[in-house]
Amino acid sequence: MLKVNEYFDGGVKSISFENKGPLSIGVMEVGEYTFGTAAPERMKVIKGELTVKLPGHIEWETFGAGDDFEIPGESSFQVKVEQTTAYLCEYL
């Protein structure tokens, strides 16, 4: 059964699924969010753009459609979303 997840009062929604490991696809509305990680993750932007501050990084980096970035486990990352953005998250 496909599980739908909702975060930040519905500003972020995702669908969890399995395909050679756990993944989710989701959409982030315009806003600023901080996500915590348990397992390490690889995030890929599908449509739109994410400006991200990764743990231990000083600079904010912007990732567009097709770009991906990794986040260590047991950490957190900040995201600024200036256009509604779709993403794929792989739990590594």
**Token pair recorded at residue 63:** 């990732």
77, 83, 91, 92: which one binds a second copy (CB under 8 A): 83
Contact 31, 64 (CB under 8 A): no
How near is the Cβ of 65 to a second copy at its closest, in Å?
10
Asked if residue 35 binds a second copy (CB under 8 A), the reply is no
Q: How far apart are CA 14 and CA 54, in angstroms?
A: 21
Asked if residue 13 binds a second copy (CB under 8 A), the reply is yes
Asked if residue 84 binds a second copy (CB under 8 A), the reply is yes
1, 38, 58, 59: which one binds a second copy (CB under 8 A): 1
Instruction: Tell me the pairing of strands 3-7 and 41-47.
Output: unpaired
Beta bridge partners of residue 37, listed in sequence order: none
Q: In this structure, how many other beta carbons lie within 10 angstroms of the beta carbon of residue 92?
A: 13
- Residues near a second copy (CB under 8 A) are 1-2, 4, 10-15, 17-19, 23, 25-27, 29, 46-48, 83-86, 88
